[in-house]
Structures are given as structure tokens and as C-alpha cells.
Structure 1
Amino acid sequence: MAWISLVIAGLCEMFGVAMINKVNRERNWKSYLLLLAGFGGSFLFLAYAMKDLPMGTAYAIWTGIGASGGAILGMLFYGESKDWKRVIFIGMVLGAAIGLKLAS
């Protein structure tokens, strides 16, 4: 259950990052509420996952999902570069997260 919580925390982190972009475009209470919900959910699920997982592993995977997911969202929805080198490095981050799971 801890690993599922950690993945949910990473997905909430991705949502929070997307909401930062929304806040920059639309400064209204709904945008700020969604931003707080995304990061609040992220921290809540991360804290739950860290009850069973080592801090270093949980944090590395959480940031990996958030960072690579944010980059993927940027490519898909915000017109950011889809250069093959960028995609390979995102894959390396995700591969490292999978490696940490396998090593735990």
C-alpha cells in the first residue's frame, strides 16, 4: 500500500505543478485552491508512504515522478520541446525510480 500511496503522491505533485502554470495564467481563487489541493494531497500521500518506506527512497521516487511528470505534461499540453534527448533523460529519471523500487 505504501508504494501505491507514493505513486499517488507523485501524481498529485504533477497536478500541483500543472496548477502553478494555471495560477500564472489565471489568478483567481479556484486556481489557488487547486494548487493547494494538489500539493496538499502530494504531501499527505508522501507522509503516509514514508511510514513504511525509507525516507531517501520515497523522496527520490516522489521527486522523480513529479519532475518527469511535470516535464511530460509540459510537452503534451504547453508546447515545450519534445527533443529526443529530453525524452531520453526523462526516461532515465523514470528508470532510476524503477531501479529504486526493485532494490527496496
Structure 2
Amino acid sequence: MAWASLVIAGLFEMFGVSMINKLHRDRNLQSVVLLIIGFGASFLFLAYAMKSLPMGTAYAIWTGIGASGGAILGMILYGESKDWKRLVFIAMVLGAAIGLKLVS
């Protein structure tokens, strides 16, 4: 259950990051509320996961999901570069997260 919570935390982290971008474009109360909900839920699920997972592993995977997911969302939703080098490094981040799962 801790690993599922950690993945959910990472997905909420991705949502929160995309709401930062939305806030920069829209500057409205809805964007602020969604940003707070996204990061708040992310921290709650991360805290739950850290009850049984080592802090370093949980934090590394959480940030890996958030960073790579944010980059992928930027490519899909906001037209950011889809250069093959970027994709290779995103794959490396995800591979490292999977590796941590396998050794934990």
C-alpha cells in the first residue's frame, strides 16, 4: 500500500506542477485552490508512504515521478521540446526510480 501511495503522491505532484503553469497563465482563485489541493494531497500521500518506506527512497521516487511527469506534461500540453536527448534523460530518471523499487 505504501508504494501505491507513493505513486499517487507523485501523480498529485505532477498535477500541482501543472497548476503552477496554469496559475502563471490565468491568475485566478481556481488555479490557486487547485495548486494547493494538488501539493497538499501530494504531501499527505508522501507522508503516508514514508511510514513504512525509507525516507531517501520515498523522496527520490516522489521527486522522480514529479520531475519526469512534469516534463512529459510540458511536452504534451504546452508544446515543450520533445528532443530525443530529453526523452533519454527522462527515461533515466524513471529507470532509477524503478531500480530503487527493486532494491527496497
Q: TM-score range by the shorter chain?
A: over 0.9
Q: Which residue of 1 aligns with 2:29?
A: 29
Q: 1:43 Cα deviation (Å)? A: 0.2
Question: How many Å separate the matches in 2 of 1:44 and 1:79?
Answer: 31
Structure 1: gaps spanning 5 or more residues: none
Map of 1:10-21 to 2, 5 A cutoff?
Answer: 10-21=10-21
Q: Where do 4+ consecutive residues of structure 1 move more than 4 Å? A: none
Q: Which residue of 1 aligns with 2:44?
A: 44
Q: Which residue of 2 aligns with 1:60?
A: 60
Question: How many Å separate the matches in 2 of 1:97 and 1:48?
Answer: 18
Measured against aligned partners, the alpha-carbon deviations of 1:17-54 in whole angstroms (never above 9, x if no partner) come to 00000000111111100000000000000000000000
The alignment of Structure 1 onto Structure 2 pairs a total of residues equal to: 104
Measured against aligned partners, the alpha-carbon deviations of 1:42-67 in whole angstroms (never above 9, x if no partner) come to 00000000000000000000000000
Q: 1:85 Cα deviation (Å)? A: 0.5
Q: Which residue of 1 aligns with 2:86?
A: 86
Q: 1:9 Cα deviation (Å)? A: 0.1
The TM-score normalised by the length of structure 1 is 0.99
Identity of aligned residues (%): 81
Structure 2: gaps spanning 5 or more residues: none
CA RMSD of aligned residues (A): 0.3
